[in-house]
Amino acid sequence: MFTATSQTAGGEKRGQNTVPVTISEHAREQWAARMQTDISLKTAWEQSVAVEAPEADSTAARLYPPCNALLVVKHATVTTVLHNDGRLNTPGLIECPACDDLVDPVDDDTCPWCGEDCTEPTRPGCVTLTRGGI
């Protein structure tokens, strides 16, 4: 099927998401075992949003909100898939006012999960995360 070195994903995203990654066999198995979904891990990766997971042993992490799946990346390889336990930092992400899933407003004008317009800053009920350090 797939070899460990020929499978890359995520090349369509801008900014910090442009680095292609390898998806490990372990991550693929964890995805299949833990996530009740028909989509592939590669597709989930391409649709996921970048988050920070300081509790995870990782160099980067992405969240796939429909499955609440945390994709753990170590040295450009997706090493495993976890259920998001909430211990994440989500700088730059906003919560969709319609479905509450996380959206990257730089990458997406509308919510990729439900199609809601997430760009209108004055929209009632739109949650804005506090930016900047303390």
Binding interface with Zn ion (CB under 5 A):
96, 98-99, 111, 113-114, 116
Q: Which of 62, 89, 87 is nearest to 73 (CA)?
A: 62
Q: Which is nearer to Zn ion, 74 or 99 (CB)?
A: 99
Q: Determine whether 98 is exposed, middle or buried from the number of CB atoms within 10 Å of its CB (0-12, 13-18, 19+).
A: middle
Cβ neighbors of 131 (< 8 A, separation 6 or more) are: 91, 92
58 in Cβ contact with 73 (< 8 Å): yes
**124 or 132: CB nearest Zn ion:** 124
Least CB distance to Zn ion at residue 21 (A): 25
Q: Shortest Cβ distance from residue 12 to Zn ion (Å)?
A: 20
Q: Work out how close the CB of 65 gets to Zn ion at its nearest, in angstroms, rounded to a whole number.
A: 8
Q: Of 88 and 94, which has the nearer Cβ to Zn ion? A: 94
Query: Based on CB atoms, which residue is closest to Zn ion, 28 or 62?
Result: 62
- The radius of gyration of the chain's CA atoms, rounded to the nearest angstrom, is 15
Nearest distance, CB of residue 46 and Zn ion, angstroms: 17
Q: Are 69 and 106 in contact (CB under 8 A)?
A: no
